[in-house]
A and B are shown apart, each in its own frame.
Chain A
C-alpha cells in the first residue's frame, strides 16, 4: 500500500539547514496497523506529513497504492488526499461552527457528492462511532473522546485507503485513549490500513507493527503481538 524508498527531507531555517529525514525505507502492506514512534524531533510527524501529502519529500520515492506521489500540483494533491487518505489529528481539528454531521460530511462535499448522499453517509459513520445521537451537536458540546470519534468518522467517511493518525490520543486521558484505540482496532480488523504516530508505548503496543525513528532514521522496525484495547475498556 505504501512504499517509501530513501526518503530525505530537510528544512531550511535561515542559513541553517535542518536535515530531518535521512533516508527512510518503509514498506506497508494493505491491512497493516503501524505505529511510528520516536521522541520529538525524530522526524515522525514530518514523515506522516509527507505520507499525507501535506508536505513534500526532497529526495527518494513514495508510492501510494501504486500511484507515485511526486511533483504533485496543489490541486492534484488535494484530490489524492481526498481519495486516498483520512486524517486524524491530536487536536481533532473539527470546524467549530459546523455540527458533528456537517463535519463528517465535509470531505464528501469536496468529493462532489450530493447533499442527500452526504447526509446518509455522514450519519452512517457517526452511527459507527456511536455518536448518531450527537449528530446535531457542535464540537464545543462534545467531550474530547467524542470529538476524536467524530474526527475518526470524518476520516472514514471518504472511504480512504489509509488512515493517518497524528498522536490521536495525545489530548485524551488514558481511559478515553483506549476507547479511541479500540475503535481504530475495530476499523483495522475490517481491513483498513492505519498509520499512527505516537510516543506512548501502551498505544504503540495496541498496533501490530512498531517503527522507531531516531534522528531521522529508522532504528527499529518490528511486528508485535497486538494488545487488544477492549480488555482495558
Chain B
C-alpha cells in the first residue's frame, strides 16, 4: 500500500489523466452528477424539514380540536339528531382524567361556526370581525405574535375584564395611520372594550387570521350569555403521547357523560392535528429516505460509468501497458495504478459535486428566504452523510476499478506489444 503515498505513483497517474483530458472530463461527469443529486436532494429534504419545523414552532402540534355535533344513534331514551353541546366542566374532566393530556383550552367564538361576526366600531369606522373568547393558554396552542401591547392574561379572566386583543388588519381598518390602538376603546356589539394588544398574522393559526378579536373567555361568557357552553376545545397531548388514543379516550368519556351510544361516530366532531402532523413528519422522513436511495443509486451509476470508461481506456492503452510490463512493471503495479486512477477520478468528481451541491443549496436558501409560505430553511447535509458518500465513492471506485485493472493485466505483454 506504500505506493499510494509516493510522488511517482501520482506522477504516473496525473500523466495519464492529463493526457486524456476529454476522457477524464466525461468520466468525471457521471459521479459529479451523482454526488450533486445526492447533496442537492438531501439538503432539500433537510431544508423542508427545517422549514416545517420553523413553521410549526410555538405550536402544540400534538393536539386535537373537539366539538359537539348531533347524535347519530338513538340511545338512553333520547332520539337521534339530539344536539350535544360540550361544557366548560368537560375540559377539567378531560385534563384530569385522561392520561397524557398536557392542557385543554376551551374556546368560544362569534362569527365562524354560528352567528354573524359582530359589528365593531371605532368612531366613524366600522367592520364585522370574528370574536374569540379564550383563556391565555390558547397562546400555547398557537403562539401569538404580539406587535403592540400584550396578550390576554389570567387576571383578565379572573376579573372578567372588558379588554381585547385585535388583529393587525383591524388596526389598519379601524384606526388612523400611525395611531396606536393600545389603550383606546372600541365598540364590539355595542359594548366598549379597551384594546390591550395588537397581534400579527401567524401562519400556524387556524381561524384567527389577522382580522380577529380575542377577549377573555369569562368576559365572552358574560357578555354573549353563553353560560357554561363552549364552542370547541383544543386538547393538547404531551409531545410523545399517542394522540389518536387520547382522542378515543376523550370521546369515550364524553359519550358516557352525555348519554351517547358508544358506537356513535357523529355526536362529537374532532380534527386530529397530531395525526396530520404525523403525516407531514412521515412525508419529510419519506422524502429524506427517497433522496438517500436516489442519491446512492446515482452515485452507483456514476461510478459504473467511470469503470466503463476506464475499461475502454485500458483497451486503448493495451500497448502502453504492454510496454510498461516489458520494462518490468509487475501486474500489481499496473493494477494499482488503474485502481488508483479510478478512485482518484471518483473522489475528484465527488468533491466537485459536493462543492457545487453546497453552492446550489446555499443559493436555494437565499431564494427561499424571501418566500414566506415556502417551508425551506437551512438546507444542509450532515457530516455523516458526507463521510458516508466519500466512503461509498472510495469503496465503489476501488471495486469498479478492479475490473479494468484485471483486464489490463490479463492481456499478455507480448500480445499487447504485437498490436499495431
Q: Give the interface of A toward B (CB within 8 A).
A: 49, 52, 54-55, 74-75, 78-79, 81-83, 87, 89, 91, 93-95, 97-98, 102, 106-107, 109-111, 115, 154, 158
Contacts and interface: CB of A to CB of B under 8 A. Distances in A.
Contact of B324 (A79, A102, A106): A106
Contacts of B15: 97-98, 102
Given A93-B417, A97-B16, A78 B329 contact: yes
A111 B409 CA distance: 19
A106 B15 CA distance: 13
Contact of B327 (A49, A97, A107, A115): A107
Nearest to B16: A97
A115 B332 CA distance: 21
A69 B298 CA distance: 50
Given A54-B413, A75-B330, A93-B322, 7 more contacts: A74-B330, A87-B326, A93-B323, A94-B323, A97-B19, A110-B324, A110-B329
B412 A158 contact: no
Interface string B394-420: 000000000000000100111001001
B414 A89 contact: no
Given A52-B326, A89-B417, A93-B417, A78 B412 contact: no
Given A54-B413, A74-B330, A115-B8, A95 B323 contact: yes
Given A91-B420, A95-B323, A54 B328 contact: no
A82 B327 CA distance: 6
Interface in B1-33: 7-8, 12, 15-16, 18-19
A200 to B, nearest CB: 19
B320 interface: yes
B328 A81 contact: yes
A200 B307 CA distance: 45
Interface in B315-371: 319-320, 322-333
Nearest to A106: B327
A54 B323 CA distance: 11
B409 to A, nearest CB: 7
28 contacts: A74-B330, A74-B409, A75-B330, A75-B331, A78-B325, A78-B328, A78-B333, A81-B325, A81-B327, A83-B328, A87-B326, A87-B327, A89-B417, A91-B420, A93-B319, A93-B322, A93-B323, A93-B417, A95-B324, A97-B15, A98-B15, A106-B324, A106-B327, A107-B328, A109-B8, A110-B330, A115-B8, A158-B327
A91 B416 CA distance: 13
Contacts of A158: 327-328
A78 B8 contact: no
Contacts of B320: 95
Contacts of B324: 95, 106, 110
B329 to A, nearest CB: 5
A91 B19 CA distance: 21
Contacts of B322: 93
Nearest to B9: A109
A110 to B, nearest CB: 4
B71 to A, nearest CB: 89
Name, among A106, A107, A109, the residue most crowded by chain B CB atoms within 10 Å (CB to CB): A109
B331 A78 contact: yes
Contacts of A111: 328
A82 B323 contact: no
A82 B328 contact: yes
Contacts of B414: 49, 54-55
Nearest to B420: A91
Name, among B320, B323, B328, B417, the residue most crowded by chain A CB atoms within 10 Å (CB to CB): B328
A136 to B, nearest CB: 14
A110 B337 CA distance: 12
Contact of A110 (B7, B333, B412, B413): B333
Contacts of A81: 325-328
Nearest to B18: A97
B47 to A, nearest CB: 46
Name, among B8, B18, B323, B324, the residue most crowded by chain A CB atoms within 10 Å (CB to CB): B323
A55 to B, nearest CB: 5
A194 to B, nearest CB: 17
Contacts of A89: 417
Identify the 9 closest CB pairs spanning chains A and B, nearest first: A82-B328, A97-B19, A54-B414, A110-B328, A78-B330, A107-B327, A75-B330, A74-B331, A93-B323
Nearest to B413: A54
Nearest to B319: A93
A54 B327 contact: no
Nearest to B409: A74
Contacts of B328: 78-79, 81-83, 107, 110-111, 158
A173 to B, nearest CB: 19
Name, among B319, B320, B322, B327, the residue most crowded by chain A CB atoms within 10 Å (CB to CB): B327
A43 B18 CA distance: 40
Nearest to B326: A87
A159 B329 CA distance: 16
A197 to B, nearest CB: 13
Nearest to A97: B19
Contacts of B413: 54
A54 B417 contact: yes
B348 to A, nearest CB: 19
